[in-house]
């Protein structure tokens, strides 16, 4: 069964500190992995996409890594800001299945940044 597990469930850090969110998946065959950010009261917004051949990708203070062998991804946030407080969702696309593609969502990690 295709699954995406995220850890931790929630995280509280002080402004300016770094943090790393984890995503483990069992989706196969693998197509790509996205990290979304969902602010309170808003829908998820894509931060980055990782394909099989990519190990690291950065988007400003966000850096995603992918280890396709161990089926793990991480999202590292550098020098956190109050606006980083949100839920971060890992989504893995299955390369097989229907033409519209099967997405498996993680349950999200809720990050709270305190001043």
Partner 1 sequence: ETGVTQTPRHLVMGMTNKKSLKCEQHLGHNAMYWYKQSAKKPLELMFVYSLEERVENNSVPSRFSPECPNSSHLFLHLHTLQPEDSALYLCASSPGFSGANVLTFGAGSRLTVL
Question: What residues numbered 22-41 form the site for partner 1, per CB under 8 A?
Answer: 31-32, 34, 41
Examine residue 89 and tell whether it contacts partner 1 (CB under 8 A): yes
Q: Is the distance from CB of 67 to CB of 56 less than 8 angstroms?
A: no
Bond prior to 94 in cis (omega within 30° of 0): no
Examine residue 115 and tell whether it contacts partner 1 (CB under 8 A): no
Least Cα distance to 96 among 45, 48, 31, 42 occurs for 31
Examine residue 45 and tell whether it contacts partner 1 (CB under 8 A): yes
In the list 23, 73, 93, 109, the residue contacting partner 1 (rule: CB under 8 A) is: 93
Least Cα distance to 13 among 77, 63, 89, 61 occurs for 77
Examine residue 92 and tell whether it contacts partner 1 (CB under 8 A): no
Residues at the contact surface with partner 1, assessed by CB under 8 A: 4, 9, 31-32, 34, 41-46, 49, 89, 93, 95, 98-101, 103-108
């Amino acid at each position: 069964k295709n699954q995406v597990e995220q850890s931790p469930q929630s995280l509280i850090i002080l402004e300016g500190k770094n943090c790393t969110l984890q995503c483990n998946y069992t989706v196969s065959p693998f197509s790509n992995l996205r990290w979304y950010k969902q602010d309170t009261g808003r829908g998820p917004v894509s931060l980055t996409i990782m394909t099989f051949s990519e190990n690291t990708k950065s988007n400003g203070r966000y850096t995603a890594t992918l280890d396709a062998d161990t089926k793990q991804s991480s999202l590292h946030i550098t020098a956190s800001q109050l606006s980083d407080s949100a839920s971060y969702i890992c989504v893995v696309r299955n390369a097989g299945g229907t033409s519209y593609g099967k997405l498996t969502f993680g349950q999200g990690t809720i990050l709270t940044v305190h001043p």
